[in-house]
Chains A and B, each alone.
Chain A
Amino acid sequence: MRAVAKELGINLIDFEGASCCGTVVLKSIDESSWLALSGRNIALAENRGHDIMTPCNGCFGSLKDTDHVLHDDEDNRKKVNTVLKPLGLEYTGKAKIRHLVEVLYELKDDIRKRIVKPLNGLRIAFHPGCHLIRPSNVVGFDDPELPRKVDELLELTGAESVAWGLKLSCCGSPLLISSEDVATKILSEKMISAKQANANCVVTNCPACHTQFDVQLIGMKDESGESLELPALFVTQILGLAMGIDPEPLGLELNRISLDPIADLLGF
Chain B
Amino acid sequence: MTETWGKFKSFDGKKFEALDPEFTREVSSMLGGEDLTACFQCSKCSAGCPVSDKVNIQVHEIMRMLLFGLKEVLETDMVWLCTTCYTCQERCPQGIDITDIIFGLKNMAFKKEIAPPGYIAARKSLYDIGRLYEPTDWEREDLELDDVPELNVEDTRKMFDKIGLMKLKDGD
Residues of chain B from 106 to 161 with CB closer than 8 A to chain A in the complex:
106-107, 110, 115-116, 118-119, 122-123, 126, 130-132, 139, 142-143, 145-146, 149-153, 155-156, 158-160
Cα distance, A24 to B97, chains bound together (Å): 15
- The answer to whether residues A20 and B132 also contact, given A83-B162, A135-B90 and a CB cut-off of 8 A, is yes
Secondary structure of the A side of the interface? helix
Is A251 positioned at the interface, with any CB of B under 8 Å from its CB? yes
Q: Is the CB of A28 within 8 A of B106?
A: yes
Q: Is the CB of B159 within 8 A of A83?
A: yes
Q: Is the CB of A178 within 8 A of B131?
A: no
Q: CB-CB < 8 A to A174: which residues of B?
A: 83-84
Cα distance, A18 to B149, chains bound together (Å): 7
Q: Looking at chain B, what size class is its interface with the partner chain?
A: 35 or more
Q: Is the CB of B150 within 8 A of A17?
A: yes
Q: CB-CB < 8 A to B158: which residues of A?
A: 83, 86-87
Q: Is the CB of A18 within 8 A of B160?
A: no
Is A254 positioned at the interface, with any CB of B under 8 Å from its CB? yes
Other A-B pairs, 20, CB within 8 Å; known A14-B149, A17-B149, A185-B54 = A15-B149, A17-B150, A19-B156, A20-B126, A25-B132, A28-B110, A29-B106, A30-B168, A36-B160, A37-B126, A37-B156, A37-B160, A130-B87, A168-B87, A175-B51, A177-B116, A178-B81, A179-B81, A182-B51, A253-B142
Q: List 28 A-B contacts (CB under 8 A).
A: A16-B150, A17-B150, A18-B151, A19-B131, A19-B153, A20-B126, A29-B165, A31-B104, A32-B163, A36-B159, A36-B160, A76-B31, A83-B162, A83-B163, A134-B87, A134-B90, A135-B89, A135-B97, A168-B87, A170-B85, A172-B50, A174-B84, A176-B118, A178-B5, A178-B119, A179-B5, A182-B3, A254-B143
